[in-house]
């Protein structure tokens, strides 16, 4: 770990080239504990020249890391995973303090971060190409090569875990990385970057610049020496990054928002469905891209399911991350105001507040677990991502209507089906417009399973072997072994 945990430090600098680097303009932002609103640390705020220096450092480190033997890259990444496990509690304390989530949830996030490095470490010497059968006069094969400098722009809801989700596959493929964490939650990312260095990742291979989306994030995503971009966050920012990347003809991987439906049929185990749905909407105070924020329930199951969900929501204990209760605060005052506004808008639109809806009268950014029923598909609360502990319940009379409403949003990240009819489950899953579908559970994806969205929810896939496609490009090599020097071969049309 770094010499001084950030919650004891007054100032945190960038981590570039294996060392802490000060902001060129001497500008700093303040990160705050969302449980108390008290300041934690001053964090360097990058200007465009700071981003340029980090990208230059990553570019200079790239050839040596690319040419490091795959098995050695794998060993280094595995050591990172082991060190995350060894420092799990301290990393979780930092994450909980900076982001607000209960400490046990932060520990689970760090277990996941370790697992990413361990999983991709095992892939290092298995990134194989193919042999292409083109005839007897030529040997033709492909190799998979790294892009170069990977820009990683990460969000504030799972900062440490998503650092690992992007950096681990980028590094195992032979790329170097420049990471720009969200300004609200930079501390665990800085710690993890230093931990990478301690584990043996060479200087300049992992770099972190902190600061605001503009100028720091914008400077990174538009930098002409960046070769591939990975972004997790909002749809508007994703669109802006795509436009910036287009100017430089750079590949992008985007994991954007969701408005995820849980489709519940009368033959489902409603006690189990209520458990999964409340977990899926209230974990991390609903600040999860794959949260189950819409329930599309058959009218025959509506009343019982609502009763069970409300009972579970009202039993939730809310407190600081350190108290480690069921739910912590929202991550920032800005997010609290967004959630408060969405609740107000839903009530004005005619949705029925079944429970919750209050901002707690205490320090910090706390809001109760909230459930609305009598929601109709056209309401903003049924269409727009809220990113808070707010559940909308819509009622349908048959399966066709359920599919239509489930798909009637611009997003397509995840969806769920709750039914005891296995045929129905498969049939509905095939028709849901989502990158991941869970059946009789939620959060069914793992480190090994590909994750990403349809429609406005994104491009490309994170996690699993498919994530490596974001960090490797294919080169075809054709070798002439013919005895005939005839040059009649022509380019294919």
So which residues are the catalytic ones?
Answer: 255, 289
- Residue 136 region by backbone torsions, left for phi larger than 0, else alpha for psi between -120 and 50, else beta: alpha
Question: How far apart are alpha carbons 16 and 144 in whole angstroms?
Answer: 27
Taking alpha carbons only, the member of 325, 333, 380, 385 closest to residue 359 is 333
Q: Any residues with CB less than 8 A from the CB of 137 and at least 6 apart, and which?
A: 480, 481, 482, 484
Taking alpha carbons only, the member of 365, 390, 366, 368 closest to residue 379 is 390
- Residue 204 region by backbone torsions, left for phi larger than 0, else alpha for psi between -120 and 50, else beta: left
Neighbours of 484 (CB within 10 A): 8
Question: How far apart are alpha carbons 212 and 30 in whole angstroms?
Answer: 11
Q: CB of 91 within 8 A of CB of 110?
A: yes
Q: CB of 98 within 8 A of CB of 31?
A: yes
Task: For 92-126, give one letter per residue: b (16+ CB within 10 A) or e.
Answer: bbbbbbbbbbbbebbbbbbebbbbbbbbbbebbee
Question: How far apart are alpha carbons 165 and 44 in whole angstroms?
Answer: 24
Q: Any residues with CB less than 8 A from the CB of 357 and at least 6 apart, and which?
A: 343, 347, 368, 370
Cα 362–186–12 angle (5° rounding)?
A: 105
Q: What is the DSSP pairing of strand 454-455 with strand 131-132?
A: unpaired
Backbone angles phi, psi at 414, to 5 degrees: -135, 165
Neighbours of 214 (CB within 10 A): 10
Task: For 225-244, give one letter per residue: b (16+ CB within 10 A) or e.
Answer: ebbbbbbbbebebbebbbeb
Question: How far apart are alpha carbons 242 and 67 in whole angstroms?
Answer: 30
Question: How far apart are alpha carbons 170 and 40 in whole angstroms?
Answer: 31
Q: CB of 261 within 8 A of CB of 277?
A: no
Task: For 271-290, give one letter per residue: b (16+ CB within 10 A) or e.
Answer: eebbbbbbbbbbbbbbbbbb
171 token code pair: 């590094």
């Amino acid at each position: 770990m770094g010499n001084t945990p950030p919650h004891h430090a007054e100032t945190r600098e960038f981590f570039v080239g294996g060392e802490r680097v000060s902001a060129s303009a001497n500008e700093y932002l303040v990160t705050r504990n969302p449980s108390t609103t008290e300041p934690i640390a001053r964090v360097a705020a990058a200007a465009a020249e700071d981003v340029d220096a980090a990208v230059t450092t990553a570019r200079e480190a790239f050839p040596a890391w690319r040419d490091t033997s795959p098995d050695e890259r794998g060993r280094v990444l595995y050591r990172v995973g082991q060190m995350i496990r060894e420092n799990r509690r301290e990393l979780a304390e930092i994450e909980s303090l900076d982001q607000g989530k209960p400490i046990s949830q932060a520990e689970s996030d760090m277990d996941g971060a370790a697992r990413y490095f361990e999983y991709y470490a095992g892939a290092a010497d298995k990134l194989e190409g193919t042999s292409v059968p083109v005839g007897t006069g030529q040997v033709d094969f492909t190799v998979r090569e790294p892009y170069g400098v990977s820009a990683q722009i990460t969000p504030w809801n799972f900062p440490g875990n998503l650092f690992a989700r992007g950096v681990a596959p980028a590094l195992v493929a032979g790329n170097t990385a420049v990471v720009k964490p969200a300004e609200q939650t930079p501390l665990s990312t800085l710690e993890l970057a230093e931990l990478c260095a301690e584990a043996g990742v060479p200087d300049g291979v992992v770099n972190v610049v902190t600061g605001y989306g503009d100028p720091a994030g914008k400077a990174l995503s538009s930098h002409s020496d960046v070769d591939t971009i990975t972004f997790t966050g909002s749809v508007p920012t994703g669109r802006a990054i795509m436009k910036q990347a287009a100017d430089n003809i750079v590949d992008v991987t985007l994991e954007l928002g969701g408005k995820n439906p849980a489709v519940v049929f009368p033959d489902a185990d409603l006690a189990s469905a209520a458990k999964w749905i409340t977990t899926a909407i209230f974990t991390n105070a609903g600040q999860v891209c794959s949260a189950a924020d819409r329930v599309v329930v058959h009218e025959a199951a509506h009343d019982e399911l609502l009763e069970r969900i409300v009972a579970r929501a009202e039993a939730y204990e809310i407190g600081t991350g350190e108290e480690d209760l069921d739910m912590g605060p929202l991550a920032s005052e800005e997010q609290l105001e967004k959630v408060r506004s969405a609740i107000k808008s839903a009530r004005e639109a005619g949705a029925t507040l079944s429970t919750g809806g209050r901002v707690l009268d205490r320090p910090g950014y706390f809001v109760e677990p909230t459930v609305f029923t009598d929601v109709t598909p056209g309401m903003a609360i049924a269409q727009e991502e809220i990113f808070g502990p707010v559940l909308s319940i819509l009622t349908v009379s048959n399966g066709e209507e359920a599919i239509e409403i489930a798909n009637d949003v611009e997003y397509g990240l995840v969806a769920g089906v709750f039914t005891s009819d296995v045929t129905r489950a498969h049939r509905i899953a095939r028709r849901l417009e989502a990158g991941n579908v869970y059946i009789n559970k939620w959060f069914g994806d793992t480190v090994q399973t590909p994750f990403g969205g349809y429609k406005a929810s994104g491009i490309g896939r994170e996690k699993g072997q498919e994530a490596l496609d974001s960090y490797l490009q294919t080169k075809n090599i054709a070798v002439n072994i013919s005895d005939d020097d005839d040059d009649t071969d022509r380019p294919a049309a």
